[in-house]
Amino acid sequence: MIEITEVKTKKDQKRFVEYPLKLYKGNPYFVPPFYADEMKMFTDKNIYSKTCDSAFFLAVRDGKVVGRIQAIIQKQYNQIHNEKQVRFTRFDCENNVETAKKLFETVENWAKAKGMEKVVGPLGYSDLEREGLLIEGFDELSTFEEQYSYEYYPKLVEECGYVKDVDWVESKIYKSDDPTLVDKVTRITEYALKKHNLHIAGKGLTKRKYIEKYKDGIFHCIDECYKDLYGTVPFTQEMIEQMVEQFMLILNLKYIMTVCDENENVVAFGFCMPSISKAVQKSGGRLTPCTIIKLLKAVKNPEIIDLALIGILPTYRKSGLSAIGIHMIQTMLEEGNVKYCETNLNLETNANIQAQWKHFNSVQHKRRRSYIKNL
């Protein structure tokens, strides 16, 4: 007999966060989020609680957790797009249709009680949270930024009446065979910078000073560049501060590039991260002393680079600045022990970003899906 309970107590919060750690124990492809960040969701330190309503549910059989799910009303998104939707996220479940159906029915009933008309997901609080259900690439190491799931998950979701809304694709990017690529894009970059009176910003700054100086401009650029993409919401100042604090430990200025105008306004950026997937796997996302040592080693000398975010303000998109991103990626691939870059999620309909990968040797290796169900 399956019982669905809403997470209310600290004990249930811990069970909610730890369930996927038990479900995927020993799985070589699963990468956990930071444990402390997940526990923050239940506290007033979760800044999204000011812009979202949410509920957490556990599926329990004979006292044992066998599934979980979170429901979110992203009020910013609904207001901007005149929608009445609930997002589901953090869905993990045993391979049992009955369990999945009871979890989704609970979310749907919660949504209806709130006056909502549809459920979509997996989508988190914002575009910088894990999103999309893995439907291809089950034998590939997950990036830290995205969620792994077992091969039976899509069937469970579809059995509950959900259908495709959008797909994202992910690719491995290997260095180009063209020995002249760096020289060509360097010339294009130098021309674009000179023509538009732009410059590469932040040279000589420490990481902390760099982030403090340009973080607001970078996030403004993110809002402008990503506002029309699926599921995105604008970032409040509190969201910016929380994101910066979460990722400060694993940032490396070597893999960040910011382009500014003569007034130091950010007009383009490229934000990459050394992969920390293997560093956090064994600890379950807990920052133990051993894990921190592994993290610092991965940040300093990575084998894989995650391409996290890239953006150019609309007024500069035909300026040639995209060559900077190509230059940055090829340079990273030619240095140190870097084997390849991971693109993370690209909407399958986003031809502009996918066109950038034609300059390299690339292999599409994963696909993720956001589902929808009208209530």
pLDDT value at residue 162: 98
CB hemisphere CA count around 289 (13 angstroms): 0
pLDDT value at residue 203: 84
Which tokens in the block code for residue 71?
A: 């429901």
| CB 77 within 8 Å of CB 27 | no
How big is the CA angle at 23 (ends 123 and 244), to the nearest 5 degrees?
45
pLDDT value at residue 363: 93
> pLDDT (tens digit, 9 = 90+) per residue, 244-276?
777 777 788 888 889 999 999 999 988 888 999
pLDDT value at residue 233: 86
pTM of the shown model: 0.92
Residue 253: closest CA among 215, 288, 303, 284:
215
3-state secondary structure of 106: helix
CA distance 234 to 252: 25
Q: What is the mean pLDDT of each run of 10 residues along the chain (375 residues)?
A: 94 97 96 94 86 95 96 95 96 97 98 97 91 97 94 98 97 90 87 90 87 89 85 83 77 87 90 91 92 90 89 85 84 85 91 85 95 97
| CB 144 within 8 Å of CB 299 | no
Which tokens in the block code for residue 264?
A: 């130091």
Distances (CA, A) of 63 to 2, 7, 12, 96, 104: 10, 14, 12, 17, 20
3-state secondary structure of 23: helix
| CB 195 within 8 Å of CB 136 | no
Query: Looking up tokens 């590939």, which residue turns up?
Result: 140
Which tokens in the block code for residue 246?
A: 């979460």
| CB 279 within 8 Å of CB 297 | yes
| CB 184 within 8 Å of CB 200 | no
Residue 159: closest CA among 115, 110, 103, 85:
103
